[in-house]
Amino acid sequence: MITIKSAREVEVMAAAGRILTDTLVLIESHTRPGVTTEDLDRLAEDFILGHPGALPSFKGLYDFPKSLCTSINDEIVHGIPSKSRELQDGDIVSVDCGVCLEGLHADSARTIPVGEISADVERLLSVTREALDAGITAAVIGNHTGDIGHAVQQIAEAAGYTVVRELVGHGIGTRFHEEPQIPNFGTPGRGHSLTEGMTLAIEPMVNAGKRDIRTLKDKWTVVTADGSLSAHFEHTVHVHPDGPRILTAGPATTAAE
Ligand code: MG
Ligand code: MG
Q: How far, in Å, is the centroid of ligand 1 from the Cα of 59? A: 13
Cis peptide before 81 (omega within 30 of 0): no
Give the alpha-carbon dihedral of 156, 158, 159, 161, to 10 degrees. 50
pLDDT-based confidence at 252, cuts 50/70/90?
very low
Task: Note the pLDDT tens digit of each residue in 189-221.
Answer: 999 999 999 999 999 999 999 999 999 999 999
Task: Decide if 211 is inside a domain.
Answer: yes
Task: Decide if 28 is inside a domain.
Answer: yes
pLDDT-based confidence at 257, cuts 50/70/90?
very low
Q: What is the CATH number of the domain that holds 69?
A: 3.90.230.10
Please state the domain count of the chain.
Answer: 1
Q: How far, in Å, is the centroid of ligand 2 from the Cα of 120? A: 26
Q: How far, in Å, is the centroid of ligand 1 from the Cα of 108? A: 5
Query: Which ligand number lies closest to the CA of residue 201?
Result: 2
Q: How far, in Å, is the centroid of ligand 1 from the Cα of 181? A: 13
Q: How far, in Å, is the centroid of ligand 2 from the Cα of 96? A: 8
Q: Estimate to the nearest angstrom the gap between the alpha carbon of 198 and the chain centroid.
A: 17
Residue 166's domain comprises: 7-246
Contact by Cβ (8 Å): 125, 119: no
Task: Note the pLDDT tens digit of each residue in 85-104.
Answer: 999 999 999 999 999 999 99
Q: How far, in Å, is the centroid of ligand 1 from the Cα of 201? A: 7
Q: How far, in Å, is the centroid of ligand 1 from the Cα of 226? A: 23
Q: Estimate to the nearest angstrom the gap between the alpha carbon of 166 and the chain centroid.
A: 15
Tell me the mean pLDDT in the region 138-151: 98
Position 118 scores a pLDDT of: 97
Q: How far, in Å, is the centroid of ligand 2 from the Cα of 60? A: 15
* Model confidence at 253: pLDDT above 90: no
pLDDT-based confidence at 11, cuts 50/70/90?
very high
Task: Decide if 252 is inside a domain.
Answer: no
Percentage of the chain exceeding pLDDT 90: 96
Q: How far, in Å, is the centroid of ligand 1 from the Cα of 203? A: 7
Task: Decide if 2 is inside a domain.
Answer: no
Position 251 scores a pLDDT of: 55
* Model confidence at 256: pLDDT above 50: no
Q: How far, in Å, is the centroid of ligand 2 from the Cα of 103? A: 16
DSSP three-state, residue 177: coil
Query: Which ligand number lies closest to the CA of residue 77?
Result: 1
Task: Note the pLDDT tens digit of each residue in 64-76.
Answer: 999 999 999 999 9
Task: Decide if 231 is inside a domain.
Answer: yes
Q: How far, in Å, is the centroid of ligand 1 from the Cα of 109? A: 5
* Model confidence at 58: pLDDT above 60: yes
Task: Decide if 117 is inside a domain.
Answer: yes
* Model confidence at 119: pLDDT above 70: yes
Task: Decide if 65 is inside a domain.
Answer: yes
Task: Decide if 113 is inside a domain.
Answer: yes
Task: Note the pLDDT tens digit of each residue in 166-197.
Answer: 999 999 999 999 999 999 999 999 999 999 99
Arithmetic mean of pLDDT over the chain: 96
Q: How far, in Å, is the centroid of ligand 1 from the Cα of 23? A: 13
DSSP structure string for 91-116: -EEEEEEEEEETTEEEEEEEEEE-S-
Question: Which residues 6+ apart lie within 8 Å of 206 measured at CB?
Answer: 124, 127, 128, 131, 156, 161, 162, 163, 164, 184, 230, 231, 232
Long-range contacts of 151-159 (CB under 8 A, 24+ apart): 152/184, 152/185, 152/202, 152/204, 153/184, 153/185, 153/186, 155/127, 155/130, 155/131, 156/127, 156/128, 156/131, 156/184, 156/204, 156/206, 159/123, 159/127
Q: Which comes out higher in pLDDT, residue 212 or 253?
A: 212
Query: Which ligand number lies closest to the CA of residue 170?
Result: 2
